[in-house]
Amino acid sequence: MTVRCSLGHENPDGSLFCDECGEPLASGAPVAAPAAAQDAGSQVCPSCGATSPAGELFCSNCGSPLGSAAPTPAVAAGAPDFTPAPAAAPVATAAPALTARLIVEADNQEFDLSGKDIIVIGREDAVSNIYPDVDLTPHGGEEGGVSRLHARIFVENGQYMLEDENSTNFTFLNRQKLAGKSPAVLHDDDEIKLGRVLLRFKEA
């Protein structure tokens, strides 16, 4: 027994939809097809023995492949497409903060340079509104020839640098005179001399 859709396509008895056009099939009594038509225009499923119209690729009863046609992998309806998530960008980690001290050799006074990018060294002068980060006035700065804005220490590329600010009595690094505005790299235990005031640079 077969069921025909409104276009005349034959479908196996019990089919809910037409295998050819997808039309919903009426629930009424199936229409009998001539025996000759069944033999010439149908095929038998090798798995369950159900009859399907000729040309169908899959059995409408059990879904097995019919005839010699290679089965086509079925895609599950509504299956979500899986797209790999992009790799997370590496999290930038902050460089460790530099730590250093400046020690006055004459009286062992220490100045903490940690956490500062620029440290101005000189002598305080309220009249000129000059307030250096490292004030050497109480440590022999005036008698020792320290200028009000004598030198500066700053951080560049993760290193401490020393630069003379065109001082009157010059800046010396490990007894080498620095040219004005020409930075030099500082290392642990370096000797800094501003005029006649001697300092020691210590890291950590």
- Which of 50-54, 116-120, 159-163 has the least mean pLDDT? 50-54
47 plus 104 within the same structural domain: no
194 shares its domain with 108 = yes
Quick check: is 20 in a domain?
yes
Residue 187: inside a domain: yes
Output the CA torsion 142→147→148→152 (10° steps).
-130
Q: Do 114 and 185 lie in a common domain?
A: yes
The per-residue pLDDT of the chain, averaged, comes to 81
Q: How many angstroms separate the CA atoms of 192 and 197, rounded?
A: 8
Higher pLDDT, 26 or 86: 86
**Residue 81: inside a domain:** no
Tell me if 79 is assigned to some domain: no
Q: How many domains does the chain fold into? A: 2
Q: Mark whether 183 and 116 lie in a shared domain.
A: yes
**Residues spanned by the domain of 39:** 1-69
pLDDT score recorded for residue 157? 92
Q: Which residue has the tokens 């992998």?
A: 73
Give the residue, 71 or 84, on which the prediction is more confident: 84
Give the domain CATH number at 191: 2.60.200.20
Give a yes or no: residue 17 inside a domain.
yes
**What's the 3-state SS for 6-54?**
CCCCEEECCCCECCCCCCECCCCCCECCCHHHHHHCEEECCCCCCEEEC
